[in-house]
Amino acid sequence: MYQSSKILDEFKPIDVAEAERLLNIEIAENTTKIVVLDDDPTGVQTVHDISVFTNWEADSLRDGFAEENNLFYILTNSRGLTEEQTTKVHKEIAAAVDAVAKEAGKEYIFISRSDSTLRGHFPLETSLLRDAYEKNNGKKIDGEILCPFFKEGGRFTINNVHYVKYGDELIPANETEFAQDKTFGYTSYTMPEYIEEKTAGEFKAEDVTCISLEDIHNMDIDGIYEQLMEVKDFNKIVVNAVDYADLKVFCIALFRAMKAGKVFMFRTAASIVKVMGGVTDQPLLTREKMVTRETSNGGVIVVGSHTAKTTNQLEELKTRDDITFIELEANLVKDEEAFEKEVQRCLALEEECIANGRTVCCYTTRALITADTGNKEDELRLSVRISDAVQSLVGRLKVTPAFVVAKGGITSSDVGTKALAVKKANVLGQIKPGIPVWQTGADSKFPETPYVIFPGNVGEAETLREAVEVLMGK
């Protein structure tokens, strides 16, 4: 059932100043390090001046635990992995984090940050983390909190239904293109039903604890606290939210429940990470804040995402005549030799343009290429093969671009970790709402180059063009 977006403004106002005052007290008293495992690089889309690591080596984790910030990110890229691969990765990370936490003498919790449109390896990832945490710490995790609210991307949860905003309408997530995902699709209308569907009935819809907007907007912190205190046996908690103030009220109760001894696992979108981390608001980034090394070279934009939103944004970008557009014929992917020749053709064009000061946009054929085997993991492998080609259009460059923009989750992860070889990056902030910018480290392929991570499912038709215009300074 569609809703008018006007409903977002119809809830009882919250005393935001009081909520922030109470929340800041709880954050200041919290000594538990928050380790955010991000299944693609877009998860830093709400924070700034936070570290993101692309590996889980002991030295990297020591840096994360030693920082003053109460959270840091580890990029797993697991949305681009098979179940077998993500199982291996999560077991490795859980063991490595626990070892360094014990060495540092610090408590920790995991947030499994994933897609705000409910795609990804759920419940696999949080189940793996739960098993490892309980084994390593001798503590039971009482409940798992699901909070897919993401204001910047137009994702709202109302009466336990998760919505995606399109124009002036809120459309239930299960009726969007995202729910049709070949690998991570779903059919459920409400969040409790989604949980039952994804857990194959292990956790029943009627057993889910739902934190209502009514209680949040009445600031019934004690009532929410009591709900959290009653959760046990890894049962699920759904947080309804239409604004950041809602998360602030919820997190006051959450931190109090944690202080009282309750332990939670988290499967969330990006917004609650910002609130739990006490990350302040800051203005959108200007070119001067991002481009610290002036160059006469052009920039590079690579587009891998196939969502309708991305395609519309690409068409709008094409209205600029000072950008050269190069289409990678992705339909050649099943012919290894022909596909490699196609990649080399694109690279040669790119090199020439960038060296001559012209910004270039490389994009894959807009038709979705499918394996047609009936096997979801074959579809994932095929998309990874295409993404690998896309990232190589940055990774094999011999000329340094003025900036790099990657469009799409898997694409941006591959560009960050493989093409740019980033081990640690600082999140500068956002170039547009929900669109983060990394500053690449000294050991990366193009040091101190602004890297814009543009999710496939974020922004309006003009947002990609506007972001590129900021970077180009025109």
132 and 124 Cβ atoms separated by less than 8 Å: no
Q: Tens digits of per-residue pLDDT, 40-96?
A: 888 899 999 999 999 999 999 999 999 999 999 999 989 989 999 999 999 999 999
Mean pLDDT for the chain overall: 94
In this structure, what are the phi and psi dihedrals at residue 132, rounded to the nearest 5 degrees? -70, -45
Is the pTM here over 0.85, yes or no? yes
Q: What is the pLDDT of residue 276?
A: 98
Q: What is the distance between the alpha carbons of residues 75 and 342, in angstroms, rounded to a whole number?
A: 30
Residues 413-422: pLDDT tens digits?
A: 889 999 999 9
pLDDT recorded at residue 443: 87
What is the pLDDT at residue 260?
97
What is residue 371's predicted lDDT score, i.e. its pLDDT? 67
Q: Which residues of the chain have pLDDT under 50?
A: none
